[in-house]
Copies of this chain bind each other. A is one copy, B any other.
Amino acid sequence: MSPSQRPADAGPESALYQEVQHFYGRQMRYLDEARAVEWSRTFTEDGVFTANAHPQPSTGRAEIAAAARKAADQLAEQGIQRRHWLGMLQVDEQADGTVRARTYALIVSTPRGGKAAVHLSCSCDDLLVRQADGNLLVKHRTVERDDLRTGQ
């Protein structure tokens, strides 16, 4: 079997994997460019963002946008450019047609005139759902900061 001979479902799986990569490329750029409303629209209307660093989840686009806006304002005041890298993507289609997408997240911070450095390392676990217009959106995101993990 040559490398190009993959199982028959390779095509769609391949397209989905790339689609999720591209989705994240666009999505995290919204966050890092302080485009809070566009960021919130990459979540479903009832989207949930939960994190082990947050006392409670953000629920719905208004809360998700407000949290992003607040974080962006603080970074702007401090003169910090932050970049969220998602990588090492693993994509699993669920039986119900939703998509589980797991990534590593590396957050890099650079103060104006200062030194770039790793800010945080996290895992990111998404439930993505396809909309009527064909686009994927995040229905549920769980971000776990590695420094705040409890068990092993």
**Size bracket of the A interface:** 35 or more
Question: In the bound complex, do residue B16 and residue A4 qualify as a contact, i.e. CB atoms below 8 Å apart?
Answer: yes
Question: In the bound complex, do residue B152 and residue A79 qualify as a contact, i.e. CB atoms below 8 Å apart?
Answer: yes
Q: Check if A146 is an interface residue, CB within 8 A of chain B.
A: yes
Question: In the bound complex, do residue B130 and residue A2 qualify as a contact, i.e. CB atoms below 8 Å apart?
Answer: yes
Cα distance, A115 to B15, chains bound together (Å): 36
Residues of B within 8 A of A26 (CB): 90
Residues in chain A within 8 A of chain B (CB atoms): 1-7, 9-19, 21-22, 24-26, 28-29, 34, 76, 79, 81, 83-91, 93, 97-99, 102, 104, 106, 108-121, 128, 130, 132, 134, 136, 146-149, 152
